[in-house]
Structure 1
Amino acid sequence: MHGGFLLGAGAVLLALALAGMGARVLGQSVIPAYILMGMGLRGAELDEHLVEVLATLGVVLLLFFMGLEFSLGALLRNRRRIVRDGSLDLLVCFPPGLAAGLLLGWGWTGGLLLGGALYVSSSAIIAKATIEMRRSANPETESALGVLVYEDLAMALFLALMSGAVLAANPSAGTVVLGMGRALLFVGVVTAAALLGRRVLERVFDIESDDVFLLSVGALVLLLAWAAIGAGLSEAIGAFLAGLVLSETDHRERVQRLFLPLEGLFAAIFFLAFGLSVDTGALLQVWPVALALTVVGAIAKVGAGWWIGKLSGHPNRASLSLGLTLVPRGEFSVLLAGIAATAGLAQVSAAIAGSVLALSLLGTVGMRYAPAISRRVFPRRATSLAERGFRADLAMHDAPVPAAAPARPERPWEGDQRSR
């Protein structure tokens, strides 16, 4: 029994390591590599219970870290800019997926899930790529981070509402309203606790031992995830709110330092488990839909990013780079695909999976070559005769006129000498 468990765990970690190495060699994000590896392992004799448990821990830690990145104080200070940019992004990028779901006959549930998956960008891919490509100081990066903050908060609430409505045992108008009410109440209570109970949390987690501190924070995360399930929500929402609670304390950096290795490990297993759950037969049936959604999703994000960049006063190149930066999709879209699969919407789940894979790969390439693409689309205007294509004998006369030497200031005694 123990031998089989160790063999299964070792096989899963080896598969993830190989997928990650391949992605790094190709210069791609590891998220689509993990998903593709999971799809490739469908049919393999893996311990399903083991993968499910590790994947649950993965999504819990992934959403916990996303909540930990937020600062309610910073959000309130920059609320006008964030709300303006985020609302514009929502109005441009959510309706295409919703309309596609309705036109394909997948109903309001399928349309909402598809709209959410096509709307939200991947904070994980964009944040890691921005750091690796050393673009943190670029003018468009601050705008991109503001949009991601708005998206993540909006999708956390959207995920809570959809899980409370779609995953109900007997969905009806009454149960949907009740589920949404419980979701809002749960999110409101925990958020209020984060704002009002900061001093208490500071004292509770003021623990000298790293081991005891790690156990205490882990207990908070898992208990809030359990409470979210008890409220009829996804465990991911509880984990996100746990991160939001601790983000307002002085223990934030310590939590990040201690939990970061665990988050990377279990999040990788979560994406692999999602790949294992993708119905390849359904994906083959809806691949034209997934391809069309990929094209529409990419165009919508580039257009929204361009618009936001121009409103923020960025030049053309920076605005286009902002749009290309927002193209990748990832973690939240995967969660919505999981809700679709649980609700029995196999085609919706497969369409989301296909578009997420394509947009994560396309978005990573777009981010890498964003400066070159921006320069090609918006070349610098020619200012000299040579740049405009004139012959060399004519261009040589286009030398810049030397600036006149500045006039020497008159000294007090020189005026007297000239008058004499």
Structure 2
Amino acid sequence: MHGEFLLGAGAVLAALALSGLLFDRLRQSVIPAFILLGMAIRPLDLDEHLVQVLATTGVVLLLFFMGLEFSVGALLRDRRRIVRNGGIDLLVCFPAGALMGAWVGGGWTGALLMGGAFYVSSSAIIAKSTIELRRAADPETEVALGVLVFEDLFMALFLALLSGAVLTPEPSAGAALWGMAKAVGFFAAIVGLALYARPLLDRAFDLDSDDLFLLLAGGVVMLLSWGALAAGLSEAIGAFLAGLLLAETEHKERAERLFGPLQGLFAAVFFLGFGLSLDPSTFGAVWPYALVLAVLGIALKVLTGMWIGRRDGLPRRNALSLGLTLVPRGEFSILLAGIAVTAGAQAVGATIALLVLALSLVGTVGLRLAPEIARRVYPRKAPRSLEERGFSPALAAFDAPQPERPSDPS
């Protein structure tokens, strides 16, 4: 039995590495590679309990890392700009996705899930691509990060709403409001701890041994994830807040360094587990919906990004590049697709899966080509002559190119 486990685990990890390497060589996000691999090996007899445990650990560490990227102080300092830009993105994209979810046929549950999956961009894909393409210093990158911050914070609260509206045996408006109240209380407690107990946290995590630091931080992540579950919320909320808590200490960089390899491993297994949960036979009925959603998703994100960029004072080229940057969907959308499958909305889950596969691929290409596309759409114009600007022909003659004089033969 142990031999079969080792053989299966080794084969799966090797397959994950090879599929990720292939997509990386193609300069694509590795997320679709892991999902497609899960769908491909679905007919095999894998240990479902093991995959579920690893996938749960993966999503916990993935959300922990997302929380680790935030700074409560920075959020409070730039809150008006973040809320303004993020609010535009939310008010444009979420209702459109919700309407499409109702069209797919998932009812109000499907509308909520599709609205969230359609709205939220992939922080993982965008951040990874921005670093690889060396575009961190571009003017639109700072604006994009502010939008992503708002999206991720909104999605954390949205998951709490779903805890009362979708994940309970008897969903109701009261349960949804109670779920939101518990989430807000949970958030307030952790944020208050991060802001006012920083010296205590700094001392608690001031350990010489990296091994002990890893154990303590991992214990905090798992305990807060359990606390969120005990409060009737998603474990993802607890993991996100654990990252937010540790990000306020002086040990943030150490946590990123030590948890980085683990996050990559378990996140890969999370996407693999999602692929295993999908039934490819359901794609035939939903691919037209996914195609319409993908086209609409690209158009709305590009237009919304341009709107946000221009309001933020970016030139038209950079505003268009911002819109192209926000196109990819990924981890949160996958999380919502998994909730849809669990809630029995198979069509919604399959549609979201196809949407993520399409937009993670197209979005990665768009990110890479964004500067070139922006240059072609908005080419630099040559300066207009004086006559074109309304001056008299006599005065404009001074601005005209002068013919070359023949050289003096002497």
TM-score, normalised via structure 1 length? 0.90
Q: CA deviation at 1:155?
A: 0.8
Whether the aligned pair in 2 keeps the contact of 1:384 and 1:398 (CA below 8 Å) is: no
Matched residue, 2:373? 373
5+ unaligned residues in a row in structure 2: which ranges? 389-399, 405-410
Q: For 1:406-417, what aligned pairs fall within 5 Å after superposition?
A: none
- Aligned to 1:282, what secondary structure does the other structure show? helix
Whether the aligned pair in 1 keeps the contact of 2:163 and 2:176 (CA below 8 Å) is: no
Count of aligned residue pairs for this structure pair: 391
Q: For 1:78-157, what aligned pairs fall within 5 Å after superposition?
A: 78-157=78-157
Q: For 1:222-301, what aligned pairs fall within 5 Å after superposition?
A: 222-301=222-301
5+ unaligned residues in a row in structure 1: which ranges? 389-396, 402-420
Q: CA deviation at 1:207?
A: 1.2
Describe the superposition over 1:170-214 as per-residue Cα deviations: whole angstroms up to 9, x where unpaired: 223333333332222222222222222212211211111111111
Q: CA deviation at 1:399?
A: 6.3
Whether the aligned pair in 2 keeps the contact of 1:165 and 1:180 (CA below 8 Å) is: no
Q: For 1:166-177, what aligned pairs fall within 5 Å after superposition?
A: 166-177=166-177
Q: Distance in 1 between matches of 2:403 and 2:342?
A: 69
One-letter amino acid of the structure 1 residue matched with residue 347 of structure 2? Q
One-letter amino acid of the structure 2 residue matched with residue 113 of structure 1? L
Whether the aligned pair in 2 keeps the contact of 1:274 and 1:334 (CA below 8 Å) is: yes
Q: 1:25 to 1:171 in 2, by over 3 A?
A: same
- Aligned to 1:70, what secondary structure does the other structure show? coil
Q: Distance in 1 between matches of 2:86 and 2:256?
A: 26
Q: Distance in 1 between matches of 2:371 and 2:175?
A: 50
Matched residue, 2:396? none
Higher mean Cα deviation, 373-382 or 165-174? 165-174
One-letter amino acid of the structure 1 residue matched with residue 275 of structure 2? G
Runs of 4+ that moved beyond 4 A = none
One-letter amino acid of the structure 1 residue matched with residue 316 of structure 2? N
Describe the superposition over 1:219-273 as per-residue Cα deviations: whole angstroms up to 9, x where unpaired: 0001111111111111111100100111110011111111101001111111111
Q: Distance in 2 between matches of 1:357 and 1:337?
A: 12
Q: 1:379 to 1:12 in 2, by over 3 A?
A: same
Q: For 1:330-409, what aligned pairs fall within 5 Å after superposition?
A: 330-383=330-383, 398=401
One-letter amino acid of the structure 2 residue matched with residue 2 of structure 1? H
One-letter amino acid of the structure 2 residue matched with residue 31 of structure 1? I
One-letter amino acid of the structure 1 residue matched with residue 150 of structure 2? Y
Structure 1 or 2, whichever has the larger Rg, is: 1
Q: CA deviation at 1:126?
A: 0.3
Q: 1:194 to 1:398 in 2, by over 3 A?
A: same
Whether the aligned pair in 1 keeps the contact of 2:324 and 2:363 (CA below 8 Å) is: yes
Q: 1:84 to 1:399 in 2, by over 3 A?
A: farther
1:33 and 2:33 are equivalent in the alignment = yes
Identity across matched positions, percent: 65
Describe the superposition over 1:72-104 as per-residue Cα deviations: whole angstroms up to 9, x where unpaired: 000111111111111111111111111112234
One-letter amino acid of the structure 2 residue matched with residue 228 of structure 1? A
One-letter amino acid of the structure 1 residue matched with residue 256 of structure 2? Q
One-letter amino acid of the structure 2 residue matched with residue 292 of structure 1? V
Describe the superposition over 1:359-397 as per-residue Cα deviations: whole angstroms up to 9, x where unpaired: 110100101111111111111113489xx9xxxxxxxx7
Higher mean Cα deviation, 374-383 or 90-99? 374-383
- Aligned to 1:327, what secondary structure does the other structure show? coil
Q: 1:185 to 1:400 in 2, by over 3 A?
A: farther
Whether the aligned pair in 1 keeps the contact of 2:161 and 2:177 (CA below 8 Å) is: no
Q: 1:174 to 1:316 in 2, by over 3 A?
A: closer
Matched residue, 1:7? 7
